[in-house]
Structure 1
C-alpha cells in the first residue's frame, strides 16, 4: 500500500499581512516547521509540499517540493495530485495548523478505508487533516475554489471522524499567532 502525504503551503496569506505566515515564529520555530515535522514522523512512502514561497524549502527536508503560483486551496490540491504517483492513501494536511502531531495523522490514516475517507473533528464539522483512498482521488482532482476538500468530508459517517479536542487551530492572522504564543 502506497501512503502519500500532501502538505498544502501555497496560500497567499492575505489575512496575515505582507509577511509569509508560514515563516512567522511560533514558540521559537517557523509555523511551517510543526506540520512538516508531524508529516516526517508519520509512516509515509511519499511526502510532497506544495509551496508558493521558495523561502519555505529549508524547512521541508524529506519532502519533494512543488512550487506554484499562489492561488486557491483547490489549485494547490490539484497540483499536488498531479505531481504524486497515485497512492492508495493520500493524507492531506495544512501547513498553518501547528498543533497536529504524527499520532493524529496516524489515526487519520488508520481510519481511512478503501471506500471512505477519514477526517479530523474538534466537536464540530469535519476538517483537515484528512485522508482519502485512491477511489476518491478523481473527486479531489475536480474540486475548485478555496474550500479544498471540505465539501467531500462534510458528510462523513461518525466512524470516519477522528476527534482531537483543542488541536485543530489554524493560524490565519497575526492575532491568531499572538494568541497561541500567549497560550504557551
Structure 2
C-alpha cells in the first residue's frame, strides 16, 4: 500500500543564537553551507535538495520576512504557509493544517542541511497510521520525525514553542536506526555550517 506522506519543513524560527554570533542581519537559512555532496548552497536549499522525490507533498512554514526562502521552496515544488509566530508548535500545526488529508506527515527542521535522503526514506518507511517514526543515532533521537494519520488532530492542536515531543508519551514509537550524523546536526551557530 502506498501512503501519501507530506513533508512539513519548519522555517519560521528567528535563528537568534545564529544571529548573536554572525550578526543581527544574518539569516541562517540563507547562509552558505557546503553540503555532503560538496556543493555550496544555502542551508534551506541543502534541506530541499535532500528531500526524496517520493515526497511529492511539500509545505514550507516560514515567516513573511523570508521571501528568498519562499522562492527557493517553490522552485523545489513546495507550497508555503506564512506564519507570524516563531513557535515550533504553531509551525507544525500550520503545516499539517495545510495538508490535513494525508496518511502521515514528516516534520523536518529547516536548519538541518546534512540529513541523507536515505535516512529520510527510512523514517518515512517507518510511519504507521497509529505510530511515530524517529531516526536513532547512537541511542539519540534525531530528525525528521514521522507521524501517522491518527496524530493529525493532535499535531494541528499544537501551539506556542512546544513542539511535537509531547506526543511521544504513550505513543507507539518506531525507532529507525541510522548511521547518519546529519539526523542530529542542526545549524544553530555559524561553525555548524561545515559538516565534519
Counterpart among 22, 25, 30 of residue 32 in structure 2? 25
TM-score by length of 2: 0.82
CA RMSD of aligned residues (A): 2.0
Query: Is residue 70 of structure 2 the alignment partner of residue 57 of structure 1?
Result: yes
Structure 2 stretches lacking a partner, 5+ long: 35-39
Question: What's the CA shift for 1:117?
Answer: 1.3
Question: What's the CA shift for 1:154?
Answer: 6.7
SS in 1 for 2:50: helix
| 8 Å contact from structure 1 (residues 6, 49) kept in 2 | yes
CA spacing shift, 1:153–1:66, aligned 2, 3 Å: same
Q: Across the two proteins, how many residue pairs are aligned to each other?
A: 179
Counterpart among 128, 137, 143 of residue 122 in structure 1? 137
CA distance in 2, matches of 1:128, 1:151: 15
Structure 1 stretches lacking a partner, 5+ long: none
Farther-moved stretch of structure 1 (91-100 vs 77-86): 77-86
CA spacing shift, 1:154–1:174, aligned 2, 3 Å: farther
Counterpart among 93, 106, 111 of residue 91 in structure 1? 106
SS in 2 for 1:114: coil
| 8 Å contact from structure 2 (residues 134, 173) kept in 1 | no
| 8 Å contact from structure 2 (residues 127, 147) kept in 1 | yes
The 5-angstrom pairing of residues 72-151 of structure 1 reads 72-151=87-166
TM-score by length of 1: 0.87
CA distance in 2, matches of 1:85, 1:115: 16
Query: Is residue 187 of structure 2 the alignment partner of residue 174 of structure 1?
Result: no
CA distance in 2, matches of 1:164, 1:68: 34
